Amino acid sequence: MPEYGKGTSSRVAANIRHTFPAIELAMVVGICGGMPYTKANEEIFLGDVIISESIVAYDEGCQLPNEFILLNKEGYKLGADLERFLKTIRISLLEKRTVEFLREPAAAEFGIDPDPKPRYLGSGEDKSFKSTFRHKHHREGECEICDKCKGDTDDACPESRKRDCEEFGCYGEESRSRLGKTEEPHIYLGRVASGDTVLKSGIHRDDYHHKLDVIAFEMEGAGVFRNLPCLIIKGVCDYADSHKNKNWQDYAAATAAACLKAVLREWRPTRAVVQASHESFQRL
């Protein structure tokens, strides 16, 4: 897609559907911001994969003086075929195959580097902070604006949007320990929030999680879903808070792609789609 956002993805999906009318399922694969945990208190780590059980456009609604009313709080439900598929699929098998595909070298016949796999950065680089812990200068006296930033609504300096946690001294407020996390990605089924806003606030992230029961945030799925049956498969590259950076994006994209391959091994098209494809072939 040429740009981010639901509008762009909706136009692309509409054109695809017009060109290929027999398409049964769209897979939206890439990266997302994730919750550090599910509602059942299962921990989610960077590089893990989220598969959508439903999609909610969390930024569409009515802004009143005292509250924002969501247009469609229930979100977009998956079709019957997809619901049956997700109920019968074995997550343990998907995880096993995802790991296998993630470790496969690229096919040399396509002229690709035989081993271009993005590297797992290690549990020490996977930091989840308390939602109220801001990304800013934490060393007293380095920045006058950040020194005054004590509460949730206080301003941090513009520089805080460009520099990483190590430069700012964002340590000591981790909400949990990453140590002991293995390299193998885990897969979680859950509700995905889709919007045009880049979410970089742990407080807002937690609020959406509690109100809408979402575990991931992305920017394309809802637009595609309006035109095609859609399954979102996204690798978690950050925790959608102010400490967000791009360090894990390559690895998260790779885990999502490997998971897609595992899902396609299990997916079976409906009889109607097989028949339509056969008729199209016969006409050719």
In tens, the pLDDT along 93-146 reads 999 999 999 988 765 555 656 556 788 988 888 888 888 888 788 788 888 888
Residue 215 pLDDT level (bands cut at 50, 70, 90): very high
CA distance 26 to 29: 9
CATH no. for residue 106?
A: 3.40.50.1580
**Is it the case that residue 150 has pLDDT exceeding 70?**
yes
Q: Which of 203, 233, 214, 132 is nearest to 173 (CA)?
A: 132
Q: Are 260 and 29 in contact (CB under 8 A)?
A: yes
The predicted pLDDT at position 103 comes to 86
Cα separation, 164 vs 257, in Å, equals: 27
- So what's the pLDDT on residue 254? 95
Q: Are 10 and 156 in contact (CB under 8 A)?
A: no
Taking residues 7-23, report their average pLDDT.
92
pLDDT-derived band at 181 (thresholds 50, 70, 90) equals low
Per the structure, the count of domains in the chain is 1
pLDDT at 125: 85
pLDDT band at 280 (very low <50, low <70, confident <90, very high): very low
Range of the structural domain that residue 252 is part of:
6-121+189-283
Distances from the Cα of 277 to the Cαs of 12, 39, 80, 260, 271, in angstroms? 22, 41, 21, 22, 10
Checking if the pLDDT of 249 tops 90, the result is: yes
Mean pLDDT throughout 250-261?
95
Question: Considering only 37-51, 69-83, 202-216, which range has the smallest mean pLDDT?
Answer: 69-83
Least confident of 135-139, 185-189, 193-197: 135-139
Q: Token pair 């998971």 is at which residue?
A: 259
Whether the predicted pLDDT of 174 surpasses 50: yes
- Within a domain: 131: no
Give the number of other Cβ atoms within 10 Å of residue 71's Cβ: 11
Is residue 137 situated within a structural domain? Answer: no
Residue 73: which of 62, 58, 54, 51 has the closest Cα? 58
Please give the residue that has the higher pLDDT: either 191 or 140: 191
Q: Which residue has the tokens 């791009």?
A: 246
> What pLDDT score does 114 carry?
56
Q: Are 203 and 132 in contact (CB under 8 A)?
A: yes
Distances (CA, A) of 35 to 126, 193, 204, 230: 13, 11, 11, 22
| Residue 101 near residue 228, CB atoms below 8 Å | no
Asked whether residue 43 is domain-assigned, the answer is: yes
Looking at residue 33, what is its pLDDT? 97
CA distance 62 to 261: 39
Bridging pattern class, strands 49-57 and 187-194:
parallel
The Cα–Cα gap between 232 and 41 comes to 22
Query: Does residue 162 lie within any of the structural domains?
Result: no
Spatial separation of the C-alpha atoms in residues 132 and 242, rounded to whole Å: 10
Question: Which pLDDT value is given to residue 176?
Answer: 62
The pTM of the full predicted model, rounded to 2 decimals, is 0.86
In contact, 239 and 33? CB cutoff 8 Å: yes
Q: Is 241 inside a domain boundary? A: yes
Q: What is the pLDDT of residue 276?
A: 47
Q: Count of residues for the chain?
A: 284
Identify the residue with better confidence: 91 or 269.
Answer: 91
